[in-house]
């Protein structure tokens, strides 16, 4: 029988060694060492005189103080283009889920309008590239695909079952159709914002060409 490997904490000596090596490679030590060498040069040329240890130590300390601090690299998060690829994949999964849901004609029509618009916004190419420049738009699209649409449809399916047991209550498709209409309006606002951004780019290029003629 194999025994599980036991984790052992690093020794104090290894931790201290790592800290020492880290400081030796740091910007503070390198900058201080460079100025310390300047102090040695001044010593050899006779400028520092009998106070050369103070001069060398002072220059080293000054270099260590003026050196920029170590800056850890920020975490690498996926860019909007990579996020869109993931949303596009989830949109395909959403489509598979929706094909298995039986909807009344009204909500089904609203859902088709919404998914057609979402598919157009997620289409690979220059449209997706324009969307990738709008992080808020990417977030809104992701929320619609991963949360809003599946939640609206699932709530309808669950409520419809209870409605069959309690006839005379408000049909659940009323809420579903309204929810899908609101989501479509939200997607249309996103599409309008992208169109306006492209229009501003076009106007900017026109002004640039006009200014070149002056």
pTM here?
0.63
Helix (H, G, I), strand (E, B) or coil at 133: coil
The confidence score (pLDDT) of residue 106 equals: 94
Mind listing the pLDDT tens digit for each residue in 19-58?
555 554 566 666 766 666 666 665 666 655 665 566 667 6
Q: To 10 degrees, the CA torsion angle through 194, 199, 200, 201?
A: 90
8 compared with 199, residue with greater pLDDT: 199
* Crossing angle (nearest 10°) for helices 172-212 and 105-121: 30
For residues 144 and 118, the answer to whether their CB atoms sit within 8 Å is: yes
Question: Which stretches of the chain are DSSP H helices?
Answer: 12-24, 27-44, 52-66, 80-98, 105-121, 126-132, 135-143, 149-165, 172-212
- For residue 168, the model assigns a pLDDT of 75
The pLDDT tens digits for 70-122 are: 666 777 766 777 888 899 999 999 999 999 999 999 999 999 999 999 999 99
Q: d(Cα 56, Cα 141) in Å, to the nearest integer?
A: 61
CB contact at 8 A, 152 and 180: yes
Give the pLDDT band (50/70/90) at residue 1. very low
The first and second tokens of residue 81, run together, are 């283009």
Classify each residue of 57-72 as buried b or exposed e, where b means 16 or more C-beta atoms within 10 Å of its C-beta. eebbeebbeebeeeee
Angle formed by the axes of helices 105-121 and 149-165, to 10°? 170
């Amino acid at each position: 029988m194999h025994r599980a490997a036991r984790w052992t904490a690093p020794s104090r000596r290894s931790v201290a060694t790592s800290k020492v090596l880290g400081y030796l490679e740091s910007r503070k030590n390198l900058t201080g060492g460079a100025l310390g060498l300047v102090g040695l040069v001044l010593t050899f040329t006779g400028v520092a005189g009998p106070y050369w240890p103070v001069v060398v130590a002072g220059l080293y300390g000054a270099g260590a103080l003026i050196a920029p601090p170590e800056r850890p690299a920020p975490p690498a998060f996926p860019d909007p283009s990579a996020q869109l690829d993931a949303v596009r994949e989830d949109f395909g999964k959403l489509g598979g889920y929706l094909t298995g849901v039986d909807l009344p004609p009204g909500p089904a029509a609203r859902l088709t309008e919404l998914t057609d618009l979402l598919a157009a916004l997620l289409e690979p190419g220059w449209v997706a590239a324009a969307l990738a420049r709008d992080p808020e738009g990417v977030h809104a699209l992701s929320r619609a695909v991963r949360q809003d649409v599946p939640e609206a449809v699932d709530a309808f399916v669950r409520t419809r079952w209870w409605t069959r047991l309690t006839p005379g209550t408000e049909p659940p498709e009323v809420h579903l159709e309204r929810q899908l209409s609101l989501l479509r309006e939200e997607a249309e606002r996103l599409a309008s914002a992208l169109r306006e951004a492209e229009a501003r780019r076009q106007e900017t290029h026109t002004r640039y060409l006009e200014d070149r003629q002056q």
